[in-house]
Chain A
Amino acid sequence: AQTVTQSQPEMSVQEAETVTLSCTYDTSENNYYLFWYKQPPSRQMILVIRQEAYKQQNATENRFSVNFQKAAKSFSLKISDSQLGDTAMYFCAFMKGNTGTASKLTFGTGTRLQVML
């Protein structure tokens, strides 16, 4: 079974600064996907970024980027130029790379991020 660990329950960052959220995972699979989801107070789950394990290049989406270390099983999220709208709960998630598991995500416990003025 896969496990996903987020060791930072809460973090804060000043507006316009950079913050990094940590995520580690444990799996014996070689083919898998990793995700970061954002959950603002509205409760809606929003995909922030996705990484395919077979790709060595780190994924980026505008101000969001990841540091994917496959050997270390680490998948951190960097948010640059933090904005007030980034205040949310952030979840790291894992999915095996088999067609039959395309609807099965394993989530971490989340990191609550507060962006301050």
Chain B
Amino acid sequence: NAGVTQTPKFQVLKTGQSMTLQCAQDMNHEYMSWYRQDPGMGLRLIHYSVGAGITDQGEVPNGYNVSRSTTEDFPLRLLSAAPSQTSVYFCASSSGLAGEQYFGPGTRLTVT
């Protein structure tokens, strides 16, 4: 199993550009999440999903969109990048309450 994979590993965007961060898992997990990590602030939940076709907002959803058309994939879309979205982004998946959350390797995004 590859576990949770994220692409790209690094990305530089200009203000106003859009892009999609990819996340995929091969463990057949129902639950998936996106977090951002900023210095001194820990990880904060952006969006999450409890199954294909079901998504909801987390703590910091503004400026981001998600969809979950398959169990395996959970892409995160930045519609119009802003410098405040410079961060490290982590995708995670789990099988449920009793299951461990598996994190991807992260994507470092810089918006200039």
A residues neighboring B (CB under 8 Å) = 4, 33, 35, 43-45, 47, 50, 91, 93, 95, 97-100, 102-110
Contacts and interface: CB of A to CB of B under 8 A. Distances in A.
B26 to A, nearest CB: 17
Interface of B: 31-33, 35, 40-45, 48-50, 58-59, 88, 90, 92-94, 96-97, 99-101, 103, 105-106
A110 B42 contact: yes
B103 A103 contact: no
The 6 A-B pairs of least Cβ separation, nearest first, read A103-B31, A45-B103, A107-B42, A103-B33, A107-B43, A103-B48
A102 B41 CA distance: 22
Contact of A103 (B40, B88, B92): B92
Nearest to B90: A45
A52 to B, nearest CB: 9
A105 B33 contact: yes
Contacts of B100: 47, 50
A107 B37 CA distance: 10
A109 B40 CA distance: 6
